[in-house]
Chains A and B, each alone.
Chain A
Amino acid sequence: TACLPMYLFAEFDDAANLLAANPDATTISIDEPAEIPKKQHGRLQEPGREEDDELLGTDDSDKTELLAGQKKSAPFWTFEYYQTFFDVDTYQVLDRIKGSVFPVPGKNFVRLYIRSNPDLYGPFWICATLVFTIAVSGNLSNFFIHLGKPTYHYVPEFRKVSIAATTIYAYAWLVPLALWGFLMWRNSKVMNIVSYSFLEIVCVYGYSLFIYIPTAILWIIPQKVVRWVLMVFSLCLSGSVLVMTFWPAVRDDNRRIALATVGTIVLLHALLSVGCLAYFFDAPELDFPAPFIPPHNVTTVATRNR
């Protein structure tokens, strides 16, 4: 039985090598010293792996480090597995929202706030709120813009809710999926110090969308300049959260690929906000709420009404 630990150690090494070829979610904090071996923790943990770790006689600090990454050990068909994604308290959610609205330069959102406890509560409900905020604000803004016109008949435009829902949920889930796949692929070529699990990327994207909720409410103001200033401002805030999160993950890579990745992230984010502004909010026809309309504009106004 004395050679049992040696046998298990060798087997663990082989297993680790096998896993290295099969990219799985990896969570590593930047602060930890480099001598902790890089463990690949997939979402589906086999019970055998936990026994290996325990039998190796790892001491407490290693064990807590392992356990922190091995949190999600329930099989994925049980309810408890999904409860681990909702293991947040009210103050934690509020802290994360604050961190996304007031990004501290140089601090990584994931490291500072998520710390290997990504939650799905924030992304899901922030997206739901954003969907209804955009739809309701767009409706209100159109109502106020077209208010005085004689041929205008108010419609609730309920179709736009489903369009908003599809767009925002697709953005908040498919873009992180693509980004995660891309980072995993680059990870297999270039050994990065920092890499994120899929849920952490979803978390960052979800919380970074929070700033658009007050922005959408303020977009009711029917002034083009105000709207564009608001959009640029919110894009800078949430874009900086994303950039500061993902720059450490790609900076060890080829310079051009790193810049292209970060540029694509910001571009997609900008496209989302520009698209929402253009589709849900009608353009204000006058740049100042003038009570009179010059006579030659009356016909153009009438033909533009739906």
Chain B
Amino acid sequence: MGRRGKQPYYVEAAPPVDVNKNTEWFMYPGVWTTYILLLFFAWLLVLSVSGCSPGAAWTVVNLAHFAITYHFFHWKKGTPFAADDQGIYSRLTWWEQIDNGQQLTRNRKFLTVVPVVLYLIASHLTDYKQPMFFLNTVAVFVLVVAKLPNMHKVRIFGINADI
């Protein structure tokens, strides 16, 4: 590891009992920290590339986060690899698959809180000014509603229903 004298901080990872290989990576240590660090470094990247105000950079990060997480958690169904599970997950989005479909677990609560926190930071730093405020509100509304337990396997108006 390259450190002399000082030991690196170790974590233990027991193999989780999740047979769904698409979601079991989310139960390992370090996932939450990586997620938060990714958002922070994305903000730094937007700031350094565009030179806009911090609030505008957080708005950009919030909207990009909305687009990416909506697409991968709530739109794409099935698994990105050919699992030998006879396609039992091919009608479920990633959000519906995690934790074996159990609602209100720690992972799900964490993932629901992150868009809300992003929204608060972005709205505060842009002083609740109009076009950004509206966009941020739409983003957080859609994401939080999509993650509610009542929306499990619900397809509104048949959008994204099965083939």
Asked if A and B are interacting partners, one says no
